[in-house]
Amino acid sequence: MRTIKNTIYRLSAAATLSLLFASCEITDVTDVEPVYQVSEDKVITNIEQAQTALYGVYGTLVSGAEYISYMPALTSMMGTTMQPGSFGGGAENAFFINEVTPDNYYLEFIYTKMYFLINNANHVISKTEMLNTNDPRKKEIIAEARFLRAQSHFYLLRLWGEFFDESSAYGIVIKKEPISNAAPQARATVAESYASIIEDLDYTIANAPAFTNTFYASNLAARALKSKVLLYKKDYAAAAALASEVIQSGERQLEEHFGDIFTKKIEDPYEVIFQTPFDDLNNRNNKAFMFRSYFGLSDDYVSLMETDARYEAAVAFTESGSARNNKFNNSVYNGTPLTADTEYFIRLDEIYLIYAEAVLRGNDNLNEAKEALNVIRERSKNPLNTITEKNELLEAIRAEKVLELGAESGEEWFDLVRYHKEGDIDINSFKELSSETRLILPFPVQTVELSEGIIKQNQGY
């Protein structure tokens, strides 16, 4: 039996401390030490130790603010739903105006943390694979670690790779083994990056445990994430088939009301597929503070939501009239005002919208796409969609994702990039970019400089 929150938080303290010291000097941020590397021959010698190390990988998601606050807020500011808050300065504003420079400290924070998690996952995978045991938990542990590795590689690809062009050489650095030296590693191509991510997800689908709770990787979470990866890869028919499989499985269901997602948080959620836990009593993260001080709602988002039935669940106001992100602020948990909060990595509502777009692009099935879209419209108490033209329906699906998932994790930014590259929209109608090179972020300056030319900076930076 796994004790969820206490174990994750106890083990994540070591991850936070190690990352803190690692960031005090200039290093290649893809070369970081695993959390529990006591020695090569003693770290993982049995399933119990493997499980403990796996808890540490999960702990990396909730230690610090990178996965919980920085990445979701900064990508939302790159899009249209968030802007710098009252405490925000030049570093935050650079994301809002889509002019991030390689020396922006947020780049290093997020990039380092993702490779930190990947390296810890590799540590678990490689050592658990060597265990001489028939315990079925062995493959499950490896599968969960590979899911976490795949998710982080996918996030890296979306932010720093030309994910929209599978023929591009500008993929990411793929790490599949624990770091044993400081030798720099070249970027993979975009096609190679996708292949590695999908290979991990396929292993997880075949070997991960069935879904039991939202805090751990599962077969269901892997299928859901793979449907999203396939959408980005433009394998639309396969994305639609897998998204439909997740929906039809019945393992998750939509909350009765949209607002229930954010009032329930982690308490018996129906809709969430994978999320982070939080420990509000001990203030283990400060997302609620960050999302009202450094990262606020954009004026455009507040105005957009005013005509939508989800408005009150998404937007709140202080006594002075300042807008607040009501999904993560001005809310309570067990009767106590929140100072900690979760990150919803995958929810069923997004899978419906992935299916709607994928079945429309891949199969030209307007009826199926519209039906999936209207499931979300109906749950949110908004008028049903009656569009009969493909391009208009594609835009309605994109717009619906802003209404349903806005001011959370920046999904609208990646949709703007994808739709722009597909020729459906001109991204400059939504965010004025100085160059097409601003569709992705620059690599942190340390990564490029210390690689001595091995790692190529993104074009235009």
pLDDT of residue 334: 65
Q: What is the mean pLDDT of residues 101-119?
A: 97
Contact 443, 160 (CB under 8 A): yes
CATH of 4-63+104-208+439-450 among 1.25.40.890, 1.10.1660.10, 3.30.540.10, 3.30.930.10: 1.25.40.890
Provide the pLDDT confidence category of residue 338 given band limits of 50, 70 and 90. Answer: low
Contact 397, 373 (CB under 8 A): yes
pLDDT in tens, 152-179: 999 999 999 999 999 999 999 999 999 8
Provide the pLDDT confidence category of residue 331 given band limits of 50, 70 and 90. Answer: low
Provide the pLDDT confidence category of residue 182 given band limits of 50, 70 and 90. Answer: low
- Show me where the domains of the chain are located: 4-63+104-208+439-450
Any residues with CB less than 8 A from the CB of 267 and at least 6 apart, and which? 333, 334
Contact 414, 159 (CB under 8 A): no
Contact 242, 226 (CB under 8 A): yes
Q: What are phi and psi of 259, to 5 degrees?
A: -65, -20
Provide the pLDDT confidence category of residue 210 given band limits of 50, 70 and 90. Answer: very high
pLDDT of residue 461: 97
C-alpha R_g of the chain: 21
The span from the CA of 203 to the CA of 125, in Å, is 12
pTM of the full predicted structure? 0.92
Residue 289 has pLDDT above 90, yes or no: no
- For residue 334, what are its two tokens? 């067990």
Average pLDDT, the chain: 90
Cβ burial 257-281 (10 Å sphere, 16+ → b, else e)? ebbebbeebbeebebbbbbbbbebe
Check the CA dihedral 375-381-386-387 and report its sign: negative
The span from the CA of 93 to the CA of 82, in Å, is 11
